[in-house]
């Protein structure tokens, strides 16, 4: 019996080493890594879905405010050029009042433009939007690449000896599908319309 116990104690570490070499820990670790990387891909898509409509709305709102001010200045200038006073009209109070109102409207709209000038930022907002769009698409690309690398590592792990033994026997592991653009037009970033 003493010899049997010695053999038994010698087999336990050898069996543990054999099991450790069969992917007992490496297969689930690689699988969880691939799943985490896929969650990162989904997170980046969600970030894009949340961020872009808000950015576009902000840019549209700023652009609308600026458009309103510039339209007002343009209309006031056009109205002012239509009111003409000749030398003979200098004695007509109604024509002089109309001329002064038209010129006053230009002055008021220009003052409004001057007051709003530090706040006019549609160009900066467009620049920010473009930067955010580019950054978002880059984040998605990085997340997809990281996912595909994790999938490649996992798939290699479950197909190579000795991990393949444990992968099949203990986990029934199957290859994970890497990210591929399958949607028609997926290779093109979404269009932003104003």
pLDDT digits (tens, 9 = 90+) for 105-126: 766 776 666 555 555 556 676 6
pLDDT the model gives residue 152: 92
Give Cα 7 to chain centroid, integer Å: 61
- How would DSSP label each residue in 69-113? HHHHHHHHHHHHHH----GGGGG-HHHHHHHHHHHHHHHHHHHHH
pLDDT the model gives residue 118: 52
User: pLDDT by residue (tens digit) across 7-59?
Assistant: 666 666 655 555 555 567 888 888 899 899 888 888 888 887 787 777 777 77
Better-predicted residue by pLDDT, 69 or 114: 69
pLDDT the model gives residue 131: 81
pLDDT the model gives residue 146: 92
Residue 165: exposure state from Cβ atoms within 10 A (0-12, 13-18, ≥19): middle
Contact 194, 60 (CB under 8 A): yes
pLDDT the model gives residue 184: 62
pLDDT the model gives residue 186: 59
Residue 81, pLDDT > 80, answer no
As a whole number of angstroms, the distance between CA 171 and CA 158 comes to 10
Q: Vertex 125, ends 120 and 126: CA angle to 5°? A: 120
pLDDT the model gives residue 193: 62
Pick the most confident of 62-66, 100-104, 110-114, 119-123: 100-104
pLDDT the model gives residue 170: 79
pLDDT the model gives residue 80: 67
Domains and CATH numbers, the chain: 25-171 (1.20.1440)
User: CB neighbours (10 Å) of residue 70?
Assistant: 14
Token pair 């932003």 is found at 192
Tokens of 142: 């990085």
User: pLDDT by residue (tens digit) across 122-167?
Assistant: 667 667 777 877 888 888 889 889 998 999 998 888 888 888 887 7
Pick the most confident of 20-29, 54-63, 169-178, 179-188: 169-178
Q: pTM score, two decimals?
A: 0.56
């Amino acid at each position: 019996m003493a010899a049997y116990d010695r053999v038994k104690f010698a087999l336990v570490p050898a069996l543990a080493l054999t099991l450790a070499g069969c992917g007992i820990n490496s297969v689930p670790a690689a699988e969880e890594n691939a799943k985490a990387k896929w969650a990162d891909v989904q997170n980046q898509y969600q970030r894009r879905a949340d961020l872009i409509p808000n950015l576009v709305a902000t840019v549209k709102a700023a652009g609308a405010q600026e458009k309103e001010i510039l339209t007002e200045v343009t209309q006031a200038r056009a109205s002012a050029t239509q009111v003409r006073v000749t030398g003979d009209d200098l004695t007509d109070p109604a024509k002089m009042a109309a001329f002064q109102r038209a010129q006053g409207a230009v002055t008021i709209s220009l003052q409004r433009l001057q007051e709003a000038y530090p706040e006019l930022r549609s160009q900066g907002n467009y620049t920010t939007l473009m930067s955010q769009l580019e950054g978002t698409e880059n984040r998605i690309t990085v997340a997809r690449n990281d996912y595909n690398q994790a999938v490649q590592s996992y798939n290699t792990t479950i197909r190579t000896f000795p991990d393949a033994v444990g992968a099949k026997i203990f986990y029934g592991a199957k290859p994970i599908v890497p990210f591929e653009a399958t949607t028609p037009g997926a290779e093109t970033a979404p269009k932003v319309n104003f």
